[in-house]
Amino acid sequence: MIEIMTPDEVDRGRVTGRLVGTILQTLRTRTQVGTNLLEIDEWTKEMIRGGGATSCYIDYAPSFGDGPFGHYICTSVNDAVLHGMPHDHRLANGDLLSLDLAIVKDGVASDAAISFLVGTPRDPADAALIDATERALAAAIAVAKPGAHIGDLSRAIEDVLSADGYPINTEFGGHGIGSTMHQDPHISNAGRAGRGYKLRPGLMLAIEPWVMADTDRLVTDPTDGWTLRSATGCRTAHTEHTIALTETGSEILTLPDPV
Residues found near ligand MF3 in the complex (CB under 6 A): 57, 60, 65, 69, 74, 83, 100, 102, 111, 206, 208, 226, 240
Shorter beta-carbon distance to ligand MF3: residue 26 or 146: 26
Residues 208-227 that bind Co ion (CB under 5 A): 208
Q: Which does 213 bind (CB under 5 to 8 A by kind): ligand MF3, Co ion, none?
A: none
Min separation Cβ 205 and ligand MF3, Å: 11
Q: How far is the CB of 9 from Co ion (least distance, A)?
A: 18
| Using rule CB under 5 A, residue 206 touches Co ion | yes
Candidates 9, 79, 95, 111; binder of Co ion (CB under 5 A) is 111
* Cα(7)–Cα(91) distance, integer angstroms: 42
CA atoms within 13 A on the CB side of 157: 30
In whole angstroms, how close is the CB of 111 to Co ion at the nearest point?
A: 4
Among ligand MF3, Co ion, none, residue 83 binds (CB under 5-8 Å by kind):
ligand MF3
- Partner from Co ion, ligand MF3, none binding residue 74, C-beta < 5-8 Å depending on class: ligand MF3
45-104 residues in contact with Co ion (CB under 5 A) are: none
Cα separation, 183 vs 177, in Å, equals 5
Closer of 95 and 208 to Co ion (Cβ): 208
Selected range binding Co ion among 27-35, 46-54, 196-204, 205-213, rule: CB under 5 A: 205-213
**Residues listed for the chain:** 259
For residue 99, the number of C-alpha atoms closer than 13 Å in the C-beta half-sphere is 26
Give dist(CA 146, CA 153) in Å, integer. Answer: 12
Residue 69 touches which of ligand MF3, Co ion, none (Cβ within 5-8 Å per kind): ligand MF3
Cα atoms in the Cβ-side hemisphere of radius 13 Å centred on 117? 16
**Which residues does 37 contact at the CB level (< 8 Å), separation at least 6?**
75, 77, 84, 86, 87, 88, 89, 91
Neighbour tally for 201: CB within 10 Å: 17
Q: Which is nearer to ligand MF3, 148 or 206 (CB)?
A: 206
Q: CB of residue 43 vs Co ion: minimum separation in angstroms?
A: 21
Yes or no: say if 103 and 179 are a contact pair by the CB < 8 Å rule: no
How far apart (Å, rounded) are the C-alpha atoms in residues 177 and 174? Answer: 9
* In the complex, residue closest to ligand MF3 by CB: 69
Four-CA torsion 213, 174, 119, 50, nearest 10 degrees? -170
> Which of ligand MF3, Co ion, none sits in contact with 116, Cβ below 5 to 8 A by type?
none
- Which residues form the interface with Co ion (CB under 5 A)? 111, 206, 208
